[in-house]
Amino acid sequence: MPYSLDDLNRMDRAAFVAALGAVFEESPWVAEAAWDKRPFADAADLRAAMTDIVRSAGPERQRALILSHPDLADRASRPANLTAFSQTEQAKAGLNELTEAEAQEQRDLNRTYRDRFGFPFIMAVRFSSRQEILAAMRERVANEPELEFGRALEEIYKIAGFRLDDLVVE
């Protein structure tokens, strides 16, 4: 359900967290902290506040946020507890239509990536094709761990931005 910025600015904490708690995957603490920063001048102000909260969180909390994200997966490999946002994002990116060879490559890359970095491959897939996703996985698995940790956070900020675009009308 889309919310006006005016509505969000007037909500009590519980309603605000209920409305925006899923913007950052399985991390309502971001919305809880953002509530204290109201009122927001516009959607960009809200987005910046939520992003700044994550940027200023310690590395342990950031790692927990990264770990809350699911692997990108074909329909058969997708966990049953995948959030509605993630289900929609992955389906729109064509991950439901992977060929068996693509699905196997993706599973292998997910495993290799997770073994190398200790967290799932994260990519804001909204405007990406399944071929672009696989290419990014092949490329990023060779990155250094520190670089990839930062890249995962940047992708999370993009994902949250897309989710806010869907939830907030000005």
- The catalytic site residues sit at 69
**Three-state secondary structure of the chain:** CCEEHHHHHHCCHHHHHHHHCCCCCCCHHHHHHHHCCCCCCCHHHHHHHHHHHHHHCCHHHHHHHHHCCCCCCCHHHCCCCCCHHHHHHHHHCCHHHCCHHHHHHHHHHHHHHHHHHCCCCCCCCCCCCHHHHHHHHHHHCCCCHHHHHHHHHHHHHHHHHHHHHHHEEC
CB neighbours of 152 closer than 8 A, spacing ≥ 6?
Answer: 66, 117, 119, 122
Handedness of CA 168, 70, 77, 147 (dihedral sign): positive
